[in-house]
Structure 1
Amino acid sequence: MSPVGLYCLLFISVLVCYWVPAGCYANGKVTKVCGSMEPHHSVPGQTAHSPYSLETNSIKFSPGDQIKVTLFGTSYFEGFLLQARDAANKSLVSTVGTFTLTNLNKTQLLTCNKHQGSAVSHTSDARQTEVVVIWNAPTYAPRQVQFFVTVVKHYNLFWVKLPGPVISQDGVTPHPPQWDTTPPPVQPTTTASILPGLFTSEGCGQSKSCLLDPPGCDPKDPHCFFLSMTTEGPDKTSMIFELSGPAEGYIAFALSWDKWMGNDDVYMCVKDGDRVLVSAAFVSGRTHPEDQSEVRSENSF
């Protein structure tokens, strides 16, 4: 295989990853998004109907009461962020009250707005269908409190700040909160890329450089890993890559300054249901690639 400029094609990596395509498993430490409750992912949240719901065991409360709050759904979820807020003041992002956990293995308390234990999140990407926590009503509470939750089914599919039940202090007549009249954000339209045809090994070694595993396999074979590179343009400064192969999570290739794996740019084809998403990543040594389409930290979902 001939090098392109100072780069050379280094490897094809086939890995299985369900939560974060690049293998960066979420730990639920999402205090930096307490206000927006929005995951730092590279795709917008869903606006379609959510399969998840919140419920409480009471619609009334007094200071010091403990209210059971349950998050459940008709489908599993891998991450969540749960808060209670003042139902009458939508402009406030501060949390109300604290929570007590009932499952220390799958849930954890967070400190939002310097208010310890004022939110709950997941501890790993383990799939769940129900979470039960206890909300502790503070001494000084607004007349009405509403619960909100962000739920992540998997990395590219999540619902932001779903509204839950409204509970009222004793003596306050319950009534539905005044919902924001702002319409939901319009999903950006995208144009699907149309492939010129099935990948082929025709021209390998002549008009394009190729890698095939097993050697000599046909790219049309579902068990064949195939990578090709072709230069194009008047000055041959543009490159076209073709990448295919069997994988439950993603397949990827890297561009390297040398022949060793580590500190290299990686390009991933990530399986997302019936779609394939393409994203840039970076790999440090023999580790999972870290998605660079949006910089993540331990404070992202």
Structure 2
Amino acid sequence: MILTMPARFGWKMPVLLVVLMMLPWYGMARPDGAPLSACRSLTPSHSGIGVQGSNPPYDVTATKIGDKIRVTISSPVGEEFEGFVLQARSSRDKRKLVEGKFTARNGVSKTIDCLKGKENTLTQVNTNPKSKIVTEWMPANGVNEDVIFRATVAKTYALFWTEIDSSSTRVKAESNYQQGVSKERKQSQKMDSSTMYQDCFSSQGCFGYPSDCIPSEDCQVLLGYSLSNGGILFRLKGVLNSPDSYVAMALSWDQRMGDDAVMECVEEGNYAILRQSWNEGKRNNRTREVPRDIYTSEISDGQITCEWNSDPIIRTHKGTFNLDNTTYYLLLAKGPMSNGKISYHSGKIFTQSPVNFSAFEGLEGGKAHDAVKIHGTFMVTAWVGFVSVAILLARHFKSAWETKTMCGVKIWFALHRGLMIAALTFVVIAFIVIFVHLDGWNYENKNPHAILGCIATAFGLFQPIMAAFRPAPDNPKRPIFNWLHWIVGNSAQLIAVVAIFFARSLQASGLKESFYWVMAIFVIVYLIFHFLFQLHSWTSDKKKNNEIKMNEMTHVRGATNNIQGNSQEKNSSANMFRVLLLGVFVIFVAVILLALYALIGVA
């Protein structure tokens, strides 16, 4: 039987069939990867579809691993993607393609040759959903510059983001680490630091930064130690993120910086040297270079390594460290140099317990200090617990319990004042605890958590002072006070919540990523409850106005009394609903606080 098209469709039917055949491809990225035409701009040529203008839900990260750079495309919020294209570009001129080769993975990615290069661009081989792409990039010979990795990521055919850049990574030829030394001397001093990971837990103890980096062999700082000729052989290796940088280890009697014997493996110019120094409080001083004949050092491919043999008894101007019969905490740090001295670290870690240097073991990074945990617990209790409930009471309960009082004032005001006093007490205690623990202010930490916390605390202290001078209810200036009180109070809570979010980024906090999500749930639900209370207030006011109009239209006394009685019953019912809603919110806040306490406790 022959199928024929109805005459009324005419030429439209073939066009419709073509469109229907194209639809399955419209929802996905290019199935065979990026074409050569995208080599310069890395922009897909999806007809009629433009680049997304919003912030991309994807990140590109780069970590130096020996001679190679490990590059990862992933989503911090768990978004999958179908397509991508990745290149190495110059940090100074992001239009310039830096030559090097990517490593492809069968069934996931492939390399293409762009702009006369070889295997210098990576893209997908299919449109299967991907949660992460991991590849390695080997720079070509002679590359000597700062490199970023630029990606275009397509969630679907019609949804993609371009110019997603990694942070800058320095790629340079191997440098001579000691000036004025013969080539033969340098070759004899060059260490095979690639075996450090393999030696961990077998012939040497190991400790690395960040925590749990040793199994994956991607430590930013790695320390190995073993017994050698009656002493301790230390091998310290780290990744340099900028010129004139350092990595360091310290022996300490506790998990805090202060009164520590420090060994610094530092870059000065184009060579590496080993120095000994001492921490006094938060300051590092009394620096001296270790004699060149008792250590070896190397800078190669953005990594610095120092190796030295230490006597078991280390004497300093403040005391003696005996590694034979005493255990000490180990601290690792890395960061920039400033005027020839090590500056405040960009990363650090300490051991959970003192180290026995005669035992070979992998050491776990230290958890957050108890003072930090107390600070965090008190702050979330104040701002997430007390303040949020107190603000809800002041905003939505002024008309509740009109005929009842507590401590000589309205119930809502008594509760609001009590909660705010409790919150301020907790904030002050938390503020004092952290300042005592840190021995004052740290001016070099770029995380805004401390600044935001100080601002929120200042606003919180200003509130009761302002309330003590509030005008009487019938004073013409009372509305001005009300607005100022509202603005300062809400600003304090907003700034404090933002500061709590930034606390997750502080290494000293030890907080897991789940802390973000618990705080995000609190913020969202808190706003929802404000909306529910406001919606209930609007509907109640509307009903009340309608009843007043009905009352004015009624001239019969009995009817008036009935309406007034019904109005009182409805007001009582409205109050009960608000109280019930408040009870639900208090239970929710209690659950959130318990979750935050648990996350802070295990940090």
Q: Which has the higher contact order (CA 8 A, sep 6+)?
A: 1
Higher Cα Rg, which structure = 2
Higher strand share: 1
Higher helix share: 2
